Amino acid sequence: VPARRQRLDRFLSAFYGINRKQVKALLASRQFEVNGARALDCDQLIDAFSCIRCEGEVLQDKQAIYLMLHKPAGVVSATVDEHHRTVIDLIDHPDKHSLHIVGRLDLNSSGLVLLTNDSRWSRSLMEPGRDVAKVYQVTLGRVIEPECIEAFAAGMYFPYEDLTTRPAVLERVSDTEAIVTLVEGRYHQIKRMFGRFRNPVLALHRVSVGGIMLDPGLASGHYRHLYPAEII
């Protein structure tokens, strides 16, 4: 999903504080470039990451950033926090403060966290109707009861939010380990769902979001840029 697009004349009109007619004259009289190519048309479409120049002067030049981070437990999914290290503290990038988190993980959870400065991309990933699957490895304090599987599939009513969770898939890997797939992310959802069965979650690790898998080569606390094929 590309960043939000708008017409070039709209951008220039806002940038210079002039009307569309004046923009038209300006485009004809001065040499504007979009991503290195001469721009002459008012209705040319640009986005937040198009490089726009006028005779050497840079009007806009922002790189889209898409990162995957292997979040360790104990690091908070926030951009600022008084008490804990944040996911941003783990990033070494000059524009790291322009990043936002695409789907938080609890303080004590680990695994895949996506960060970007492209809000259109993050919004499209998290859109309710898109049902992007998030997959978690869960370690439990007690044996997983078979009824759990049906309860996760049926959806659970949370009175506090007055909602029923969307069908979730629970696969038992061993007596006390499971793979859980959610298409939403309610507050402490997996912990609360197992809590109904008085089964404490000892460890929660996110392995994927949609088609994006946590890179097995990425050590805890490390990050990398997404590959183009991962940015869908």
User: Does residue 189 touch ligand URA according to CB under 6 A?
Assistant: yes
| Near ligand URA in 26-65, by CB under 6 A | none
**217-221: long-range pairs with CB below 8 Å, 24+:** 218/68, 218/70, 219/70, 220/70, 220/71, 220/72, 220/110, 221/70, 221/72, 221/75, 221/90
Pairing state of beta strands 110-116 and 201-209? parallel
Those residues with Cβ within 8 angstroms of residue 55's Cβ, 6 or more apart along the chain or in another chain: 30, 31
User: Does residue 105 touch ligand URA according to CB under 6 A?
Assistant: yes
User: Does residue 132 touch ligand URA according to CB under 6 A?
Assistant: no
Query: How many other β-carbons are positioned within 10 Å of the β-carbon of residue 144?
Result: 21
Task: For ligand URA, give the closer residue by CB, 33 or 106.
Answer: 106
Pairing state of beta strands 212-213 and 163-164? unpaired
User: Does residue 191 touch ligand URA according to CB under 6 A?
Assistant: yes
CB of 65 vs ligand URA, minimal distance in Å:
23
- Residue that has been written with the tokens 């070039």 in this structure: 8
**Count of positions on this chain that bind ligand URA (CB under 6 A):** 8
User: Does residue 178 touch ligand URA according to CB under 6 A?
Assistant: no
Task: For ligand URA, give the closer residue by CB, 39 or 135.
Answer: 135
**106 tagged catalytic:** yes
Token pair in block for residue 152: 């996760």
User: Does residue 190 touch ligand URA according to CB under 6 A?
Assistant: yes
Q: What does the per-residue mask of binding to ligand URA show for 198-217, with x meaning CB under 6 A?
A: ------x-------------
User: Does residue 109 touch ligand URA according to CB under 6 A?
Assistant: yes
Q: Which has the closest alpha carbon to 138: 192, 180, 107?
A: 180
CB of 208 vs ligand URA, minimal distance in Å:
13
Could you give the CA distance from residue 18 to residue 126 in angstroms, rounded to a whole number? 37
Those residues with Cβ within 8 angstroms of residue 136's Cβ, 6 or more apart along the chain or in another chain: 109, 111, 179, 180, 181, 182, 190, 204, 205, 206, 207
Q: Which stretch binds ligand URA (CB under 6 A): 12-20, 81-89, 103-111, 147-155?
A: 103-111
User: Does residue 188 touch ligand URA according to CB under 6 A?
Assistant: yes
Q: Which stretch binds ligand URA (CB under 6 A): 149-157, 158-166, 189-197, 207-215?
A: 189-197
Catalytic residues: 106
Which positions touch ligand URA (CB under 6 A)? 105-106, 109, 188-191, 204
